[in-house]
Amino acid sequence: MKKLVVGNWKMNPSTLDEAKRITKKIQQASQVLVNTEVVLCPPSVFISSCVPKKSVPNFNIGAQSVFFEEEGSYTGEISANMLKDIGVTHIISGHSEERARGDTDEIVSKKVKAILDVGVIPIVCVGEILRDNEDGSHFDFLKNQIKNTFANIPKKYAKEIVLAYEPVWAIGAKEAMVPEQVYEMVLFVKKEFADLFGNDLALKTTVLYGGSVNFRNASDIMKVGQADGLLVGRESINTAGFEELLKEVDKNI
Ligand code: PGA
């Protein structure tokens, strides 16, 4: 299975020209990859300009967010089908920055279902807000979050889901989680997913790590942490750093 690197640009960059420039560079870098696929998630207003006119090897465009209704009077919102229609293949949901603005597990679950209903791949973020290694409460937190998010998802859909384990305390931080802990947590997430959907499926499920990933730590997170890929924030709009990161991941099968 190829590794997956997702670039979450968040509310960056501030101009369309810059968005196009970064996209072009990353398209070029993606074409030469052997073991890795790339999904860039620009702000929604830039998506149409970033979707390649002809398909580019190992390169796709995703969205950062979606609303769960199909259509109707929902000012400001965008549906999964609208995103699919303009060429989006993946949609992030449950990102901690959206959860912090009010998305509960129930809302995330509805969004995941809406994404799956239109045949797009959801990248579902889970992760503890705080971590106390002594009391281990992060395991309970994660267990509940995974159960609440996926309990209502039909099993036939589960194989399409990409999970992104993102410990909230490591997002936008100075340092990523240490790779040994990433390893433990990736296994834990797969185990919880297995409890819902069975071992075979969980073993095949892509689990990304996200939180302060850069070109320097990417290799160890992949190798020692045994993640199936990465969800990258800040480093994904730093073109040179992101290109380097892609090379590092591609070397690491
Ligand atoms: P970061 O963001 O890489 O800037 O920490 C990761 C994320 O929010 O997905």
| Nearest by Cα to 4 from 143, 209, 240, 194 | 209
Distance (Å) from CA 171 to ligand 1 centroid? 5
Contact 38, 125 (CB under 8 A): no
Alpha-carbon separation of residue 201 from 97, 102, 127 (angstroms): 28, 31, 21
Asked if 181 and 140 touch (Cβ cutoff 8 Å), the reply is no
Which residues are identified as catalytic? 95, 166
- Given a contact cutoff of 8 angstroms between Cβ atoms, the answer to whether 169 and 130 are in contact is yes
Q: Which atom of ligand 1 is nearest to the CA of 212?
A: 5
Which mutation among 92, 93, 231 tests ligand 1's pocket best, with the greatest number of atoms within 8 A of CB? 231
Residue nearest to atom 7 of ligand 1 (CA): 233
Kindly state if the Cβ of 233 falls inside 6 Å of ligand 1.
Answer: yes
**Closest atom of ligand 1 relative to the 125 alpha carbon:** 9
Give CA separation, 230 vs 66, 166, 227, 244, 249, in Å.
21, 10, 7, 14, 9
Percent of the chain having pLDDT more than 90? 96
pLDDT tens, N- to C-terminus, the chain (253 residues): 999 999 999 999 999 999 999 999 999 999 999 999 999 999 999 999 999 999 999 999 999 999 999 999 999 999 999 999 999 999 999 999 999 999 999 999 999 999 999 999 999 999 999 887 778 899 999 999 999 999 999 999 999 999 999 999 999 999 999 999 999 999 999 999 999 999 999 999 999 999 999 999 999 999 999 999 999 999 999 999 999 999 999 996 6
Tell which one of 8, 96, 162, 237 to mutate to probe ligand 1, the residue whose CB is within 8 A of the most ligand atoms.
8
The residue whose CA is least distant from atom 9 of ligand 1 is 233
Query: Which residue type, as a one-letter code, is found at position 135?
Result: D
Q: Is the CB of 41 under 6 A from ligand 1?
A: no
pLDDT of residue 253: 62
Q: What is the pLDDT of residues 133-191, one digit of tens each?
A: 778 899 999 999 999 999 999 999 999 999 999 999 999 999 999 999 999 999 999 99
